[in-house]
Chain A
Amino acid sequence: MLPSSAARYFLLLLFIGLGWPHLAWSQQASRFTISGTVRGPRGETLPGASVAVPALNTGTAADSLGRFSLALPAGRHQLAVAFIGYQSLTRDINLTRDQRLSFALEESNNELDEVVVEGTATLQEKLKTTQMGVERLTIREAKLLPALFGEVDILKTLQLKPGIQSGGEGTSGLFVRGGSSDQNLVLLDNTLVYNPTHLFGLFSVFNSDAVQSVDLYKSGFPAEFGGRLSSVVDVKLREGDRQNYVATGGVGLISSRLTYEGPINKGKGSFIVSGRRTYFDVFTRAINEANKNKEDYSPIPDYYFYDFNAKANYSLSDKDHLFLTGYLGRDTFGFNSAGGFNFDFSWGNTVGSLRWNHVFSPKLFSNTSVSVSDYKYDLTNKLDQFSFGLGSRITDYSARTDFEYTPNDRHVMKAGAQLTQHKFGVGRLDANSGDGRINFGSDINYFGLDGALYASDNYKASDKLQLEGGLRLSGFRSGSNQYGGIEPRASGRYSINDRTSLKASYAMMYQYVHLVTNSGASLPTDIWYPSRLSVKPQRSQQLSSGASFLLGKGDYLLTNEVYYKWGQNQVDFRDGAQLFVNPELDAEFIFGKSWSYGNELYLEKKTGKTTGWIGYTLAWSWRNFQPQRGTNGINNGRDFHPNYDRRHNLTVVVLHQLNARINLTASFIYTSGNLTTLPLGRFGVQDIPGSSVGIDPRPVPIYPDRNSYRLIPYHRLDLGAVYKIGTQRNQDLTLSIYNAYNRRNAYFVFFDTVRDRPSGRTTGFQARQASLFPIIPSLTYNFRF
């Protein structure tokens, strides 16, 4: 165990070494610190809970672990602790020394609070924090909103926030302020998740029953985060009930969920295990069985996904706590034909972490963790005696330690270090025949070492002015290739008055691993590749500023933010790139720059029977890839928009509590259409003699500049209702109607060949628009026992 003096010495070294400007961190003589944890009635921590002294107009919010630390002048104070959905609590204290206090809030009997996601205290906190561009989503909010097939999806709910867009109809991929989906750092209890989606991006891997909260950072990234350019998605799992054994679950249209949680050793700890599985395959197998005797029937392939979350925590003492987190998820796709052709495709993440939280003093605590993250896919074909396999895998082993020090009520300092070893299995290929005549295998692996040191200080210069500065030193090594970066972070808030604040931030980010994909969508076969040889780290910088206004009686918050983000060494791939099992994959990359800018307007209401938000984003995203490496670059070096560039994006979300049992919700989204590339011309190719008989009727499209055609605007209304049943209201029926007015949104456009029916002769070509989801109603039954 690290003694507190040693920890301070480490912090001091780190801060001095980085030229820290604020060294006046000795404790002021007449101030003391209260610290502790805010929990719910079942012992669960309450991240985001407010701990304040209204008389002094000061306060803080509990962090993601429910901990708080607040420095106050000596003397008598009245503390107010609040969290939405729970009864507020006040406590008088006489502060004569540093104190540890823990609060347990009772759930509110006021049903209104269950509709309200966050309350006035939260809006106040948002107004006062230096952190910009962050969206906090509680699972309570996500569960109330209508969802595709009734599957509550926290990533899709985030897409309703300004500046965050989906890649296409129904997909969970996030495109944040002009960044691509591989530029998001997705963390599950601080451990990286490489592919956060199931079913080709349609559903996120996060089971809503197991998730406590999600924070998404779009700008002003805290120094403890790094490794991706565009956003940080910080998902925290629930810790489980510390007092009772509880089972929760749900039966939905496409999947069922079951969660079990309870105390460990009489409340010294708790655990939660949660599983989810789809049952498409149950229906498709039944259909296949019913039709197996039909000659022309083609069996439907089997598909299902499942995921399993587990978390346990245990308090070794008042100062030492252990947290163990695990995740396992798989998608499985299989096809077995009577003709001897078998196809199996599976992919998924495995994540595990062990964290030790140690409290040195009320002012200083640390988190030290080791973790592993693994993503892989395996594809196997078998035809008679021949088999063919293809796969890829990335495995990370990480260790990190983080310190947080609150010397007084003016400073909150953080510092830490992390080290990750990556193993990139960028391509595995094998081909075999049963008799051994064909036996081929190829496996391409690289290693990488990723490290970072960081320090930051949140400095409250006055009641009006608060500043946060941070520095992150990052480095990456793969073979003989070494890279490093200095990543400054800064943000500030100036309060004009109690209802108005101005904010600004700057952040530089480096990304040392790159997603190899030649598709606009995220596919399970996409692989990760390290910075090596000609592939340099990606880099981006972002400036943003904004103003927040508290309106009405403090129950509305209007925020406007503008941003400008620019990046170097952005990666793409040459046309016709060989992305699978290529030992010279680095030669297939091309490099360019990016820039994006926009304005995000956000009005949110958090109290009352009717809550919700309206968000409007006006944005531009650009790329430029000059001719290089024997290619014409992209669009011959001219500026172009990525396909997810959308000029306008409007979201309206309304949650209304009709009565104690019924909640009604609606969400509406309107965005400019996606960009796509349509062929302008065509020509015919016959191929060599002996390749076909007759003229090949398939035209060869000639494509113009990339992303030169914009699809029709996308808009959709979703409606939802939650009806609580049972005497204890511990069950509910949740109705979701996705795409309520059955809008035919464009998923993609293609040019179809029109043929004369009797002769099969081509008579013309016609543009056609394909839509993915019509109106989809779904009903889900949820319970808690």
Chain B
Amino acid sequence: MSLLSKWIGLLGVASLWLGLTGCNLEQDIDVELPSYSAELAVECYLEAGKRPSLTVTTTVPYLGAVVPQLPSNVTVRLTLPNGTVVPLAFQPNYQALTDTVSGIKFYTHIGRDTLVARAGDVFKLEVSDTQGRRVTGTTTMLAPIPIDSVEYKFNDKSGSERKAYFLTSFLDPPTPNDCYRLQLHRGDPAKGALLKRPETDNSFEDRLLNGQRFVLGTSYRFSKGDTVTATLYHTDAAFYRFRQSVRDARNANGNPFAQPSAIFSNVQGGVGIFSVLSPTRATRIIR
């Protein structure tokens, strides 16, 4: 017994040592990274019926200054399907940088007129600055995919626990490699609900269900009186891959099991995305 006591005592001392020294397993370190040359970063989502706008920034060394670099000497030209070249003026909406309510996105450049866009239309983008950097891109608007139906169903609980799930269904066309993004927003669209953070936001491909009906559901999360709007974007593969690569790149920082991903841009000469949104919407009030 005395032997056991000695061993347990030894273990206790060792455990105390562990407790004193072993808890903090993260520490700041200095790393020496090679030099990094910045390039233009472009983010542009066109949408029919809205003024074309985009954000042009530059990439920066990871451990450099926090504030995004907004180059002011950038010229942006958008080529419409009919060949008309539309300049987008440098008019940053700085208020969006501090706006945490409305959901309006920040842009650096914006066009004067609303956009007319139909399925199959091809748009081109050219961004250049006085340092000789030039970013170009091309994108095609895809046909909107109709939402067949939106439904809800309540659980069998009562009171505040009575909740409904929401189903959205649509038919995938027989063409392969279609990509989608489905968002569900809660609230009145007329009051800007569609600009806010969605209840759900999922991207998916049709590779396992090509040409078949998609039925997408939620958990029991909606209450009586909620207005729910489903927005289904038919996205091009480039936009889908860009979002996946952004997600993978973010997840790889801090995850020892992840393989870092390159960013799949669809622009040349820099990084970023140039796409035309092709949404369809359906709204239902939970009663």
* Residues in chain A within 8 A of chain B (CB atoms): 168, 200, 340, 383-386, 429, 433, 435, 437-438, 440, 442, 518-521, 523, 573, 575-576, 578, 581-584, 632, 677-695, 698-704, 706, 708-709, 723, 725, 733, 735, 737, 742, 744, 747-752, 762-772, 774-777, 779
Contacts and interface: CB of A to CB of B under 8 A. Distances in A.
Interface string B71-104: 0000000000000000000000000110111111
A777 B13 CA distance: 10
Q: Which of A440, A703, A733 has the most CB of B within 10 A?
A: A703
B22 A767 contact: no
Contacts of B28: 766-769
B257 A442 contact: no
B256 A774 contact: no
Given A575-B245, A576-B241, A769-B28, 10 more contacts: A521-B257, A677-B252, A683-B58, A687-B243, A690-B185, A700-B246, A747-B256, A764-B66, A766-B63, A779-B11
B211 interface: no
B17 A385 contact: no
Contacts of B219: 340, 383-384, 386
Given A683-B59, A765-B63, A775-B18, A689 B195 contact: yes
A339 to B, nearest CB: 9
A259 B241 CA distance: 53
B190 interface: no
A764 B65 CA distance: 7
A688 B276 CA distance: 11
A68 to B, nearest CB: 43
Given A689-B105, A770-B26, A777-B11, A700 B263 contact: yes
A702 B277 CA distance: 25
Interface of B: 3-4, 7-8, 10-11, 14-15, 17-18, 21-23, 25-31, 33-34, 36, 38, 41, 43, 45, 55, 57-63, 66, 68, 96-97, 99-106, 153, 155, 165, 167, 183, 185, 194-198, 201, 207-209, 215, 217, 219-220, 231, 233, 241, 243-246, 248-250, 252-254, 256-264, 271, 273, 277
B226 to A, nearest CB: 16
B10 A735 contact: yes
Q: Which of A518, A520, A582, A767 has the most CB of B within 10 A?
A: A767
Q: Which of B23, B33, B43 has the most CB of A within 10 A?
A: B33
Contacts of A723: 3, 7
Contacts of B153: 435
Contacts of A700: 246, 249-250, 263
B108 to A, nearest CB: 11
Nearest to A746: B29
Contacts of A692: 103, 197
A708 B34 CA distance: 10
A688 B246 CA distance: 14
Contact of B217 (A438, A680, A701, A725): A438
A388 to B, nearest CB: 11
A780 B153 CA distance: 55
A694 B100 contact: yes
21 contacts: A573-B259, A576-B244, A576-B264, A581-B208, A683-B60, A689-B104, A689-B195, A690-B103, A693-B101, A693-B196, A699-B250, A703-B252, A703-B260, A703-B261, A706-B260, A733-B7, A764-B63, A764-B66, A770-B25, A770-B256, A779-B8
A687 B246 CA distance: 10
A769 B3 contact: no
Give me the 8 closest cross-chain CB pairs, A-B, nearest first: A774-B22, A777-B14, A748-B256, A750-B254, A683-B41, A703-B260, A683-B59, A767-B31
A701 B14 contact: no
B220 A384 contact: yes
Given A692-B103, A777-B14, A762 B185 contact: no
Given A168-B256, A735-B7, A772-B25, A693 B100 contact: yes
A747 B25 CA distance: 10
Contact of B62 (A429, A701, A770): A701
Contacts of B15: 777
Contacts, number: 238
A702 B259 CA distance: 13
B14 A775 contact: yes
Nearest to A686: B105
Contacts of A340: 219-220
Contact of A690 (B21, B55, B183): B183
A429 B262 CA distance: 27
A766 B248 CA distance: 20
A677 B7 CA distance: 44
Contacts of B250: 698-701
A689 B245 contact: no
Nearest to A753: B66
Nearest to A438: B215
A684 B68 contact: yes
Contacts of A584: 207
B259 A519 contact: yes
A437 B218 CA distance: 12
A630 to B, nearest CB: 11
Given A683-B271, A775-B14, A768 B207 contact: no
Contacts of B22: 742, 774-776
Nearest to A764: B66
Contact of B18 (A520, A688, A752, A777): A777
Contacts of A435: 153
A718 B253 CA distance: 31
Contacts of B31: 678, 709, 749, 767
A690 B195 contact: yes
Contacts of B263: 700, 702
A686 B196 contact: no
A768 B59 contact: no
A28 to B, nearest CB: 60
